[in-house]
Amino acid sequence: MDFLLQVKIGALFGLLVLTLIFGSIPARLRWFRDTSGTETHRVVLSFISCFAGGVFLAACLLDIIPDYLSDISTELQARNVAGDFPLAEFIMAMGFFTVLIVERLVLSCSGRRDEERAPLLPAGHAHGHENSYRSMDQLESSGHSGHHVHVDRQAHSSFRSFMLFLSLSLHSIFEGLAIGLQDTDSKVLEICIAILVHKSIIVFSLSLKLVQSAVPPLWVAAYILVFSMMSPLGITVGIAVMEAQLASGALVQAVLEGLAAGTFIYITFLEILPHELNSSDQPLLKVLFILLGFSIMAGLSFLG
């Protein structure tokens, strides 16, 4: 086994372990799930959620979309695909409308407008939106798992949280693929360190969103486990491609990146940020924490 392959395998296990650790923090600590806390507890959780919103905004505008536009532009130019039609943006729009249509269909078929259920969870385990007129005591008494979950009256739907998880997972595969396809150990280490820092913040924020969506703890653990395996999966595919000297199918990858980017746009701008900013409590401080999350991710992006 040559040194380059050893470095890639080390990066694979490093990404897996650290992502699991950071993703487990909101899911395992009772503080993040406790609904009987003080007003300070509620406000702090709200600020943490705003910080996560800033992280997702930066990931959308500074990471996912630029990566996709660069990849699709390269592939279209290589195939001499030219024209006035904005094909790259159209692919993103298809990802956006796919999530919008699917979500509307799910909510329409459920026949409930005051309560959103998690359609991808088995019956008896889903914690959907609670009616806005129900008290928090009623919410706590209705739980199936015996755990208290921090959910406000306008909590994120479990369906949207799943779509957020799906888009982030798809992007993580491409990040891992970028590591697996490198031909020097220095490039592998450089990209791996950047992705480690990036994914640690992302998976913490994702886990927090899942907890606040009242997703059952067992399903939160499953989501985080699967998400943690996505970058290692991408690395494995990249290693296999390099070892077998196969074409990477870059155009297909770029199209999938575009669909994932459109999904991420929907989740970020129609779900996460409106949820945090529609409340009249501490609006300026909420904006400050959103800016803080955005600035940290922007700084990491600037440093490469």
Could you report the per-residue pLDDT of 31-64, keeping only the tens digit for each?
A: 666 655 567 767 777 787 788 788 878 888 888 8
Predicted local distance difference test score (pLDDT) of residue 114: 47
**pLDDT tens digits, one per residue of 232-248:** 998 898 888 777 765 55
Across the range 203-229, mean pLDDT stands at: 85
15-29, 76-90, 247-261: least confident range: 247-261
| Proportion of the chain above pLDDT 90, given as a percent | 12
Residue 135 binned pLDDT confidence (cut-offs 50, 70, 90): very low
* Closest by Cα among 268, 196, 176, 147 to 18: 196
Assess contact for 53 and 290: CB atoms under 8 A: yes
The confidence band for 131, taking pLDDT boundaries of 50, 70 and 90, is very low
pLDDT score of 152: 44
> Tell me: the pLDDT tens digits for 58-69?
888 888 888 889
pLDDT at 283 > cutoff 60: yes
Locate the domains of the chain by residue range: 3-109+154-302
Angle CA 49–50–55, to nearest 5: 95
pLDDT average, residue stretch 87-116? 76
Predicted local confidence at residue 301, as pLDDT = 79
Question: For residue 227, what pLDDT band results from cuts at 50, 70 and 90?
Answer: very high
pLDDT at residue 133 is higher than 50? no
Asked whether the beta carbons of 264 and 99 are under 8 A apart, the reply is no
Q: What is the pLDDT of residue 40?
A: 72
For the purposes of burial, counting CB atoms within 10 Å of the CB of 224, is it exposed (0-12), middle (13-18) or buried (19 or more)?
buried
